[in-house]
Amino acid sequence: MFWHLASSSALRADRAAQELAGQLKPQARLCLVLCSHDYSPHELASVLNPLLAPAPWLGMAVQALQVGSQNLSRGIVIAQFLHPDLQVGLSQLLPADTPDRLAGQLAARQALDELGHSQADTLIFFAEPHAGSASAILFGALEEAGSGPAWIGGGTGHAYGPGFLLLNGQVCQGPVVIAALRHKRPWRTAVAQGWIPSGASATVTSSHRLLLRELDYLPARVAYAEMARRDGLLLDPDRFTDFARSHPLGIPLGSGHYLLRLPLGCHTHGALNCAAEMPPNSLVQLMTGHGPSLCEAAAQAAARVRLRSKGLDGALAFYDAARLEALGPYAEKERAALLRELRQIPWLGAVCIGQVGSFGGVPHYHNQAVALLGVGG
pLDDT in tens, 184-203: 788 999 999 999 998 889 99
Which of 270, 288, 306 is the last residue in one of the domains?
288
Q: Which residues of 51-66 are buried (b: 16+ CB within 10 A; e: fewer)?
A: bbeebbbbbbbbbbbb
* Structural domain for 359, as ranges: 3-191+294-375
**Inside any domain, residue 196:** no
The whole-chain average pLDDT of the chain stands at 92
Angle between helices 13-21 and 41-52 (to 10 degrees): 20
Residues 119 and 68 in one domain: yes
Residues 171 and 70 in one domain: yes
Residues 353 and 302 in one domain: yes
Instruction: Note the pLDDT of residue 309.
Output: 75
Instruction: Note the pLDDT of residue 141.
Output: 97
Residues 283 and 306 in one domain: no
Instruction: Note the pLDDT of residue 1.
Output: 67
Residues 74 and 137 in one domain: yes
Residues 183 and 224 in one domain: no
**Inside any domain, residue 8:** yes
Q: Which residues of the chain have pLDDT under 50?
A: none
Which of 259, 288, 317 is the last residue in one of the domains?
288
Residues 37 and 68 in one domain: yes
Distance, in Å, from the CA atom of 190 to the CA atom of 359, rounded to the nearest integer, reads 6
**Inside any domain, residue 76:** yes
**Inside any domain, residue 341:** yes
Residues 304 and 281 in one domain: no
- The SS3 call for residue 148 is coil
Residues 299 and 367 in one domain: yes
Residues 366 and 225 in one domain: no
Instruction: Note the pLDDT of residue 200.
Output: 87
Which of 288, 318, 343 is the last residue in one of the domains?
288
> pTM for the full model?
0.94
Instruction: Note the pLDDT of residue 377.
Output: 60
The total number of structural domains in the chain stands at 2
Task: Give residue 46's identity as a one-letter amino acid code.
Answer: S
**Inside any domain, residue 205:** yes
Residues 23 and 86 in one domain: yes
**Inside any domain, residue 228:** yes
**Inside any domain, residue 222:** yes
Distance, in Å, from the CA atom of 130 to the CA atom of 162, rounded to the nearest integer, reads 6
Backbone angles phi, psi at 213, to 5 degrees: -90, -50
**Inside any domain, residue 208:** yes
Residue 371 Cα distances to 146, 212, 309, 356, 367, angstroms: 18, 25, 16, 6, 10
Residues 162 and 298 in one domain: yes
